[in-house]
Amino acid sequence: MRCFMVTQQQNRNSMSSFFSHIKVEHLIAGVSGGVTSTLVLHPLDLLKIRFAVNDGQQLTRPNYHGLGNAVTTIVREEGIRGLYKGVTPNCWGASLAWGFYFLFYNAIKAWMLEKGNKKTLGAGSHMLAAAEAGVITLLMTNPIWVVKTRMCLQYSQETSLPPSKHYNGMVDALVKVYRHEGVSGMYKGLVPGMFGVSHGALQFMAYEEMKKFYIGYYQLPYDDKLGTSQYLCFAALSKLFAASVTYPYQVVRARLQDQYKEYSGALEVIKRTWRYEGLRGFYKGLPAYFLHVTPNICIVFLIYEKLTRVSEPDEDIL
């Protein structure tokens, strides 16, 4: 009984120690970066989604011949506003995702350092912290990503969709998805999204390791801050590395969330994509994605860096 009580006390102390590392400054900085990057780069995100879901079998779906043709077609048929379909849920999703991700990642990392009485973490610990933060964030934001995907896929002429799958805004979409598809509809794409957690884990591990190598190479203090150019370079390289390895999950996730198609699960998406489109099918939308994520990660991390340095001048950024 005494051992049980001691264990319970230790667990409470551990949780208390973890929550002491949660700082709202990280949330605010992540939200600010997410909103800014989304407002600037949403059209590229929309293009990535439309290319990713186009398997050539949906006759009512526009068939774009490259990025330039996609832009001109959307502007001609849907106007400039067509490039910003889904921007509202994307702003909400990106801001909350980045905010919560930075909040939990930094808290988990600081807790690991304190628990292990260490000054720095290894690559495995960085990946674990990033993966844990990613899972928590995904569970909180997946319904918003479902709505964002579906609103990005509302084309100029839609005759094949019932009213229950035509949305007049973010709130209308959330209500209709929940009313007609239930909780499972709100969490479509969750399974590939969980695999996608490896994206963030690889990205943050690569970033931390590049930073650690740079500091070690120039024999700088372990907690030395990066200059803006190094910070952006490492952020962009780590993002491109993670994106190259994990992009196929985004295609699978987008297709599961597509209101024009019905799949029994991620495995069916993978089988049908491989059968009808081959390996190339899993990389549809990749050029638009690279054009989107490179400046995106630079904007997010730069704003995050500047805001956290203002609020916490003596604390390491990541």
Give the residue from 205, 233, 226 showing the smallest Cα distance to 121. Answer: 205
Report CA dihedral (253, 256, 287, 213) to the nearest 10 degrees.
Answer: 0
Give the residue from 29, 39, 41 showing the smallest Cα distance to 99. Answer: 29
In a domain? residue 109: yes
In a domain? residue 115: yes
CA distances from 311 to 21, 112, 303 (A): 15, 22, 12
In a domain? residue 1: no
Domain region containing 153? 53-311
Number of structural domains found in the chain: 1
CATH code of residue 182: 1.50.40.10
Neighbours of 157 (CB within 10 A): 9
In a domain? residue 18: no
In a domain? residue 48: no
User: pLDDT truncated to tens, each residue of the chain (318 aa)?
Assistant: 554 444 444 445 555 555 566 778 888 888 888 899 999 999 999 999 999 998 877 777 888 989 999 999 999 999 999 999 999 999 999 999 999 988 998 888 888 888 877 777 788 888 888 888 999 999 999 999 999 999 999 887 655 778 888 898 999 999 999 999 999 999 999 988 888 788 888 888 888 888 888 888 888 876 677 777 887 888 889 888 888 888 999 999 999 999 888 898 999 999 999 999 999 999 999 999 988 888 888 888 778 877 777 655 444 434
Q: What's the CA gap between 305 and 299, in Å, rounded?
A: 10
pTM of the entire structure?
A: 0.78
Q: According to the model, what pLDDT value does residue 311 have?
A: 57
Q: What's the CA gap between 304 and 315, in Å, rounded?
A: 13
Q: According to the model, what pLDDT value does residue 279 have?
A: 93
Q: According to the model, what pLDDT value does residue 199 have?
A: 84
In a domain? residue 156: yes
Q: What's the CA gap between 151 and 256, in Å, rounded?
A: 14
In a domain? residue 281: yes
Contacts of 288 (CB under 8 A, 6+ apart): 44, 45, 47, 48, 51, 67
In a domain? residue 47: no
Neighbours of 66 (CB within 10 A): 9
